[in-house]
Amino acid sequence: MSSNEAKLTRYQKYKKTYQAYAQSHRDQINRGQRERYKLNPRRYKTKKYMDYQREYQRNWNKRHPLQRKEMQRKYKREHPEKQREYASRYPEKVKAHSIANNLKIPLEPECFLCGSTENLEKHHPNYSKPKLVQTVCKQCHTLIHTNVQEMNQP
Ligand SMILES: [Zn+2]
Ligand SMILES: [Zn+2]
């Protein structure tokens, strides 16, 4: 066995041990992370770290679609005030969403902007016309809304 191989095996062994440890001490590790964050939140506010966090979250969401839904439901249950806040801040948006949901307007088979057939969502180009719904993919949807926000800025 070459020394490189030995190193690799050692690393793999370490990884396995750590993974087992992480699995059985998940709460403890999370708590530790939260506490470190509380002690020095600024350390975690760097762009690099935020990007990393966002990317990690995105990957996690992709790998755990069901857990994510459950977490969203739980969050909604535990923070009804957030929903009220949102509803009072964007009354038109909320109304349009609920009308579109009740009408069960089906999605088109592809994004009307790029033609993608994955991660399709509904977009309201105009909240005062709740029945007018466009099918867009998640990526284009984000793009639309960032552009709309920029356009609305004075
Ligand atoms: Zn698209
Ligand atoms: Zn939209």
**Number of folded domains in the chain?**
2
Same domain, 93 and 124: yes
Segment 13-61, tens digit of pLDDT:
888 888 888 888 988 888 988 888 888 888 888 888 888 988 999 899 8
Same domain, 52 and 85: no
Same domain, 84 and 133: yes
Residue 74 lies in a domain: no
| Residue 151: pLDDT over 80 | no
Bridge partners (DSSP) of residue 13 are none
Q: Ligand 2 centroid vs 86 CA: distance in angstroms? A: 15
Q: Ligand 1 centroid vs 111 CA: distance in angstroms? A: 5
* pTM score, whole prediction: 0.49
Q: Ligand 2 centroid vs 125 CA: distance in angstroms? A: 7
Identify the nearest ligand to the CA of 144 by its number.
2
| pLDDT more than 90, % of the chain | 25
Residue 7 lies in a domain: no
Same domain, 53 and 98: no
Per-residue pLDDT at 1: 59
Domain of residue 124 covers: 79-154
Q: Phi and psi at residue 107, in whole multiples of 5°? A: -80, 150
Structure tokens at 72: 């969203």
